[in-house]
Structure 1
Amino acid sequence: MTDDLVVSGRRAALWAVARSIVVSSGLVLAYYLLPMDAPLNGGTVTGLVLGLLAVTALFLWQVRAIARSQHPELRAVESLAAVFPLFVLLFATSYFLLERATPGSFTEPLTRTDALYFALTVVSTVGFGDITARTETARVMTMIQIVGGILLVGLAARVVVRAVEAGRRRRDPKDM
């Protein structure tokens, strides 16, 4: 029986890793393949706000799924593998569209890869300084990403850990 549980746990872990890779890769692939011809205007800013709300809703749904999961730790990894790339790609898209709409918003023109690079350096707080926001709009968007990244890493990590603990208590009430 114990060997069956170990094999079952390993299988669940492999599937969780595979799903995480597929989801993250699919999001990046969509970022590069989806047409981004719309100018940055009220509609695209609304899209950014709706996207942030969607990331929040996805995160809250994932927290609930973690707490109810048979393997809450694995579900937490899968959740973060979906929410974090979506957050970064949402800002990369916004930066790319902003630079297309208002050339000179950044210290150099942004390709999709440059925009993704900038979004990753902002969220990781590395900030190499090779690309910086020059316009007020670009700086405001960057500040929103910084605050969102801090909340995602700090607050969201705490919420995910609590959800994992709740899932463990639900699964093994006698062990807690």
Structure 2
Amino acid sequence: MNREVTWAVVRPAVTVGVLLLVYYRLPEDQPENGYTVLRLVAAFLVVALVLWWQLRAIGRSSRPGWQGVQALAVVFPLFLLMCAQACFLLARHQPGSFTAPLTRTDALYFAVTVFSTVGFGDITPVSTTARVLVMVQMIGNLLVAGVALNVILAAVRRRSG
């Protein structure tokens, strides 16, 4: 395995590790205020910015296929962590929004089960706000899985072709 391929595997793994570390180290007792929603919107804008940055990297890469894999390996986990953070904050500030209180791990688990459409049913949204949040995540799942994947693959094809 050459150095470029090794880097294509190591870089996303390290990035996801750092994202997980940041997710678990975020303060848990943030006060609920108008800025909470703004911070979450900003976080989702960060996902869009990372996707844009990855597309530029594909355009400049000598191996666009590997760069596309790296892009997917960063965009999907980042999106899931943003969804998990939103669920965690909602459960924290509005207890009873879900059928169970959510720790950070519970929120991440819930976000992954919604993303994968497994939906075990052990954690479900109860409040209207939680249901709206989950609907937004479902729509986001379709956008991230469909649009991001298609845009990245198109960039790889354009660069390779």
TM-score computed with the length of structure 1 as normaliser: 0.87
Equivalent residue, structure 1, for 2:45: 53
Deviation at 1:62, TM superposition (A): 0.9
For residue 154 of structure 1, the aligned residue among 116, 136, 146 is 146
For residue 93 of structure 1, the aligned residue among 78, 85, 89 is 85
Decide which moves more: 122-131 or 29-38. Answer: 29-38
Deviation at 1:128, TM superposition (A): 0.8
For residue 70 of structure 2, the aligned residue among 74, 78, 83 is 78
Deviation at 1:41, TM superposition (A): 3.3
Whole-Å separation in 1 of the counterparts to 2:68 and 2:10? 14
Contact 1:67-1:165 within 8 A present in 2 as well: no
Equivalent residue, structure 2, for 1:18: 10
Query: Tell me, which stretches of 5 or more residues in structure 1 are unaligned?
Result: 1-6, 170-176
Equivalent residue, structure 2, for 1:103: 95
Equivalent residue, structure 2, for 1:174: none
Supply the RMSD in Å over aligned alpha carbons: 1.2
Q: What is the aligned residue count? A: 161
Deviation at 1:139, TM superposition (A): 0.7
For residue 129 of structure 1, the aligned residue among 115, 121, 124 is 121
Q: 1:86-133: per-residue Cα shift (whole Å, max 9, x none)?
A: 111111111111111111100000011000000111111111111000
1:141 aligns with 2:107: no
Equivalent residue, structure 2, for 1:28: 20
Map 1:31-42; keep pairs closer than 5 Å.
31-42=23-34
Whole-Å separation in 1 of the counterparts to 2:125 and 2:34? 20
The sequence identity of aligned pairs, in percent, is 52
Equivalent residue, structure 2, for 1:117: 109
Whole-Å separation in 2 of the counterparts to 1:40 and 1:98? 9
Deviation at 1:68, TM superposition (A): 1.8
Contact 1:122-1:146 within 8 A present in 2 as well: yes
Deviation at 1:63, TM superposition (A): 1.0
Contact 2:80-2:112 within 8 A present in 1 as well: yes
